[in-house]
Amino acid sequence: MEIIPAIIPKSFSELKEKMSSVRDLVPLVQVDVMDGKLTPEASWPYLSAGQDQDFANIISEKSGFPFWQELDFEVDLMVRHPENVWRDWLRAGASRIIIHIESTFVLESIIKEFKTEFFGKDSFIYSQIGLAINIETPVQKILPFVQDIDFVQCMGIAKIGFQGQPFDERVLLKIRELKSVYPDLIISVDGGVSLETVSRLIKAGVSRLVAGSAIFASGDIIQTIKQFNSI
């Protein structure tokens, strides 16, 4: 079981602060990137009118991603037209790229380009690609792509882009449905993950748990991650 702290950064300094608080506790974090179009609100690096200078420095290799030598990160691209930006995040050092199937009409093209350019241990960059599916989207929409990706992320809340929302029980059915067709599929859940819901998620077939407010708003990050790992 993999516990992944989720960060929705309002600034580059907040990203560094939160990554620092968990860098000795987990091997990887999720950075939620929101453009304010697919989601109601935006996050870093989409908060400035132009290109964010910190991010520009990272993708141009003038500076590295925070704690890049100690902590891996995956990026959840909650943006319209991810085909325009996913390469930037691989250049920034993301170990995993997550595309929301509701965010683009060229999903097949993105997956094909990813596998051609970045997939496999012989590639210049070795990363994984996953697809996220919203609670209202039928599982059938994602099935045609499953064999060409590394994992699926099921959203466990009704409205993406906000941490601390109530857990939506419908995600359990979605997980079981996916597992019935692809028993070996790696499934992560993002949204509504807490110490109260984790047992049901594991029983349904989840192997990665993405938790934001359950960790960072807990009051004791170290103890909370220990509790997650003990389940």
**What structural domains does the chain harbor?**
2-230 (3.20.20.70)
Q: Which of 39, 114, 22 is nearest to 77 (CA)?
A: 39
Q: How many helices (H) and strands (E) does the chain have?
A: 8, 8
In angstroms, rounded to a whole number, what is the distance separating the alpha carbons of residues 191 and 198? Answer: 11
Mean pLDDT of 201-224: 96
Mean confidence (pLDDT) of the chain: 93
Residue 135: DSSP 8-state = T
pLDDT of res. 30: 98
pLDDT of res. 165: 85
Burial 115-130 (b: 16+ CB within 10 A, else e): eeebbeeeeeeebbbb
What percent of the chain is modeled with pLDDT above 90? Answer: 86
Q: Across 85-180, where does the E strand assignment appear?
A: 96-100, 128-133, 151-155
Alpha helices by DSSP H, listed for the chain, are 12-22, 53-59, 86-91, 107-117, 170-181, 198-204, 213-216, 221-230
Q: Which 3 state secondary structure label does DSSP give 115?
A: helix
pLDDT over 80 at 221, yes or no: yes
pLDDT of res. 140: 96
pLDDT of res. 160: 85
Q: Which residue has the tokens 């009409």?
A: 105
- 189 and 210 Cβ atoms separated by less than 8 Å: yes
pLDDT over 80 at 41, yes or no: yes
Mean pLDDT of 23-45: 95
**Tens-place pLDDT, residues 90-139:** 999 999 999 999 999 999 999 999 988 765 545 555 689 999 999 999 99
Mean pLDDT of 18-24: 96
pLDDT over 60 at 27, yes or no: yes
Which one is predicted more confidently, 127 or 217? Answer: 217
Q: Which 3 state secondary structure label does DSSP give 4?
A: strand
pLDDT over 90 at 73, yes or no: yes
Q: Which of 67, 117, 66, 71 is nearest to 90 (CA)?
A: 117
**Tens-place pLDDT, residues 135-179:** 999 999 999 999 999 999 999 998 887 777 899 999 999 999 999
- 12 and 54 Cβ atoms separated by less than 8 Å: yes
pLDDT of res. 12: 96
What percent of the chain is modeled with pLDDT above 70? Answer: 96
pLDDT of res. 125: 54
pLDDT of res. 126: 64
Reported pTM: 0.93
pLDDT of res. 164: 79
168 HSE (CA, 13 A, CB side): 19
Side chain identity at residue 187, one-letter code? I
Residue 53: DSSP 8-state = H
